[in-house]
């Protein structure tokens, strides 16, 4: 009973983010920090009751330094760099051009993260198709491919895979084990979107093509630096660094410094016109930062509870269980929970044939587009589309439509891979 009570704040964090934005949006935006801070404070107090003040403070500091900081600085760096690259003109706006943009976005999602790729490409997609009477099918496909599933091939792509990398899963493990499931999902979604786009395009006049212009070279360079540096953290291990009694791997601390440097350079050297063109604002990351801090601060008791659980070892069960949880709760905490439930040992879980970890990773990543809560870019795209007067489906209509599109793909994945 004590362990269940200690896990209550973590459940409160997830339920708050899942329910309050839809039920009471004004109240949520005004009091979000207080609500989340309350859950973190409750978790701290429960830890203090069981282990004392020093134990609670040390645990929170250790989690903040060694787990939350490396995780969030990479997301912020990818967000800053993606928001500093502009794309104007190009072949988008016609069915073939829209298909090309979705393919490019699917590839870029694993290189610069789903958040960065979303911020970079959603504005060109919407601007090029602004003349179209119906374009929601493009936005739905964009959410599936660019905002979620395209990030499946690297820890840079999706927060759950980044969490696994920081726990010792090899950098190139996702590319080796998830490229086939990604193809099984991406190809039918692209073909379905192309068919719908060809149908709707018959109603509209064909726009004149515009010359493609790409800006923000400094951010492209900094992004290349990050892409080259991050895999090195998987093979370079200089040892632990102790900061106020908390330990952090030296390679993770070095990456944090590099990522903060990239953010500073991006902010200093990116022209304001590019930021304005991309409608870039740090406020969009406020909710994401608070969500992940609260998750990392309250999830430890859940890990301890899972260590005593006896779970079905069948990968198919883990694929569907992690997938459904990801759609409802958010992909990153889902991956962490199931990763720990599977033993939490990166070396053994990632060793061939790695069926269990593949099931967990695939479920966490590929079910993300089923609801607006599955991954941060989902809500970001909905908000940006609404600002451009695109009427997006409500929460349950969106979930129903995505389930209708993706469930047959998940069933096929089950037969082929699990």
DSSP 161-211: HHHHHHTT--TTHHHHHHHHHHHHHHHHHHHHHHHHHHHHHTTSPPPPPEE
**Rounded Cα distance, 331 and 364, in Å:** 5
By the 8 A CB rule, do 145 and 402 touch? Answer: no
* Mean pLDDT of the 45-59 span: 86
**Residue 340's pLDDT is what?**
80
pLDDT > 60? residue 357: yes
Q: What does the pLDDT average to over 386-405?
A: 83
The average pLDDT across 197-214 equals 78
Contact 274, 84 (CB under 8 A): yes
Average pLDDT over residues 331-339: 82
CA distances from 404 to 187, 326, 407, 411 (A): 16, 17, 6, 12
2 pLDDT tier (thresholds 50, 70, 90): low
Higher pLDDT, 408 or 324: 408
Reported as a single tens digit per residue, the pLDDT across 225-274 is 888 888 887 777 888 888 888 888 888 899 999 999 999 999 999 998 88
Query: How far apart, in whole angstroms, are the C-alpha atoms of residue 175 and residue 368?
Result: 18
Average pLDDT for the chain:
85
pLDDT number for residue 414: 93
Cβ of 397: how many Cβ atoms within 10 Å? 10
1 confidence band (pLDDT: 50, 70, 90): very low
Q: Which residue has the higher pLDDT, 136 or 236?
A: 136
- Angstrom distance (rounded) from CA 255 to CA 274: 26
Q: Which residues of 76-114 are buried (b: 16+ CB within 10 A; e: fewer)?
A: bbbbbbbbbbbbbebebbbbebbbebbebbbebbbbbbb
Provide DSSP, 351-413.
Answer: STT-HHHHHHHHHHHHTGGGSTTSSHHHHHHHHHHHHTT-----HHHHHHHHHHHHHHHHHHH
Residue 182 has pLDDT above 50, yes or no: yes
Residue 308 pLDDT class (50, 70, 90 cuts): low
The confidence score (pLDDT) of residue 312 equals 67
In degrees and rounded to multiples of 5, residue 169 shows phi and psi of -70, 130
pLDDT band at 311 (very low <50, low <70, confident <90, very high): low
Rounded CA-CA distance 295/16 in Å is 12
Q: Which pLDDT score, from 0 to 100, does residue 83 have? A: 82
């Amino acid at each position: 009973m004590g362990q269940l009570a200690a896990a209550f704040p973590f459940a409160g964090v997830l339920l708050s983010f899942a329910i309050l934005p839809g039920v009471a949006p004004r109240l949520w935006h005004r009091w979000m920090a207080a609500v989340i801070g309350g859950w973190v404070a409750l978790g701290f107090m429960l830890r203090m009751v069981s282990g004392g003040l020093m134990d609670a403070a040390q645990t929170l500091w250790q989690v903040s330094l060694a787990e939350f900081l490396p995780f969030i600085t990479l997301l912020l760096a990818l967000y800053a760099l993606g928001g500093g690259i502009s794309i104007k003109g190009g072949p988008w706006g016609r069915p073939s051009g829209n298909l090309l943009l979705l393919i490019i976005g699917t590839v870029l999602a694993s290189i610069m993260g789903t958040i960065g790729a979303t911020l970079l490409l959603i504005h060109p997609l919407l601007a090029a198709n602004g003349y179209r009477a119906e374009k929601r099918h493009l936005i739905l496909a964009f959410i599936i491919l660019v905002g979620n599933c395209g990030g499946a091939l690297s820890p840079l792509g999706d927060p759950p895979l980044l969490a696994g990398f920081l726990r010792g899963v090899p950098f190139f493990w996702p590319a080796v084990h998830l490229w086939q499931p990604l193809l099984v999902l991406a190809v039918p979604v692209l073909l379905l979107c192309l068919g719908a786009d060809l149908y709707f395009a018959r109603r509209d006049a064909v726009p004149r093509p515009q010359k493609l212009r790409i800006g923000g070279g400094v951010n492209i360079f900094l992004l290349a630096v990050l892409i080259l540096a991050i895999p090195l953290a998987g093979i370079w291990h200089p040892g632990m660094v102790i900061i106020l009694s908390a330990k952090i791997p030296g390679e993770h601390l070095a990456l944090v410094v590099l990522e903060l440097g990239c953010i500073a350079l991006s902010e200093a050297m990116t022209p304001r016109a590019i930021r304005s063109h991309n409608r870039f604002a740090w406020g969009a990351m406020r909710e994401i930062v608070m969500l992940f801090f609260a998750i990392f601060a309250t999830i430890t008791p859940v890990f301890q509870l899972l260590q005593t659980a006896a779970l079905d070892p069948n990968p198919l069960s883990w694929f569907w269980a992690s997938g459904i949880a990801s759609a409802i709760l958010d992909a990153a905490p889902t991956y962490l929970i199931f990763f720990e439930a599977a033993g939490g040992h990166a070396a053994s879980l990632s060793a061939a044939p790695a069926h269990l970890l593949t099931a967990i990773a695939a479920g966490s990543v590929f079910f993300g587009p089923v609801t607006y809560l599955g991954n941060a870019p989902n809500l970001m795209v909905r908000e940006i589309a609404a600002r451009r007067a695109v009427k997006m489906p409500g929460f349950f209509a969106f979930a129903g439509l995505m389930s209708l599109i993706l469930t047959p793909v998940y069933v096929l994945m089950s037969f082929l891979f699990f």
